Amino acid sequence: MENPRAYEELRVAFTAAVSHELRTPLARLLALLETASLPGANTDELLDQARAEVEEMRELVDDILFLSELESGREIVALGSTAAQPVFEEVAERLSDRAVHADVRIVLDVQPGTHLPLRRRMLQVVLENLADNSIRYAGLRATVTLRARPGLLEVEDDGPGVDQAELPRLFERFYRGDRARASRGTGLGLAIVKHVVMAAGGQVEASADPGLRITCSFPSS
């Protein structure tokens, strides 16, 4: 490690951020359990809400562990290449119920024969995090397009987008824009995307005009 002090400061800041992010669902869970003990409480509804809080914490812990594995080098990101079409179809199917619930339409735009320089698991992680982000925040009746070309993976929506000032911060851990603050989510999805793509030698860019477009570009082989 070239700069142990800088690394230690980063570790402390990350630990503090994780603690803060876990504290909120834990507080909500405690409040739900206390309410469930009151006379006349609707225990079934409260238990459903409590399960949702536990699920949010589980997702956060899973994302933290995955990001930690990436940063410690235990995950091999770039290993050969993966055909894009089957993975894009699989991710679209996996997220279809979530998209219907959010009143969002998913469209695939994959150039035939496209391969991307990521392990299949890593390609799934990148695409699913990007698509899930758009489904969460694009808004009602929006269209989310999952696009692949040789050397390019792009997810675009025609929702309200984000302020230009927020674009540089979208890939920071736990960062949430104004619209995202009221929505559930771990705040780590785009940070994971950036880490995976950069580990594979690629670059990630976000633009808003007015919808949000996130472009992952990879060097030609």
Residue ranges of the chain that CATH labels 3.30.565.10: 82-217
Residue ranges of the chain that CATH labels 1.10.287.130: 4-72
Strand partners, 93: none
Kind of pairing between the strands at 203-208 and 152-157? unpaired
pLDDT band at 37 (very low <50, low <70, confident <90, very high): confident
pLDDT above 90 coverage of the chain, percent? 37
- In the predicted model, is pLDDT for residue 50 greater than 60? yes
DSSP secondary structure string for all residues of 48-69: HHHHHHHHHHHHHHHHHHHHHH
Domain 82-217 homologous superfamily, CATH: Histidine kinase-like ATPase, C-terminal domain (3.30.565.10)
pLDDT at 58: 77
User: CB of 120 within 8 A of CB of 87?
Assistant: yes
Architecture of domain 4-72 in this structure: Orthogonal Bundle (1.10)
User: CB of 127 within 8 A of CB of 111?
Assistant: no
pLDDT at 1: 44
110-141: pLDDT as tens digits: 999 999 998 888 898 899 999 999 999 899 99
pLDDT at 19: 65
DSSP secondary structure string for all residues of 72-119: HT-S---SS-EEHHHHHHHHHHHTHHHHHHHTEEEEEEE-TT-EESS-
pLDDT at 178: 47
152-192: pLDDT as tens digits: 999 999 998 888 878 878 888 655 554 444 445 456 778 88
220 vs 69, higher pLDDT = 220
Query: CA dist 210 to 65, 105, 205, 213, Å?
Result: 34, 17, 15, 9
Sheet with strand 142-149: strands edge to edge: 104-110, 142-149, 152-157, 212-217, 203-208
Whether this prediction's pTM lies above 0.75 is answered by no
pLDDT at 165: 79
pLDDT at 215: 96
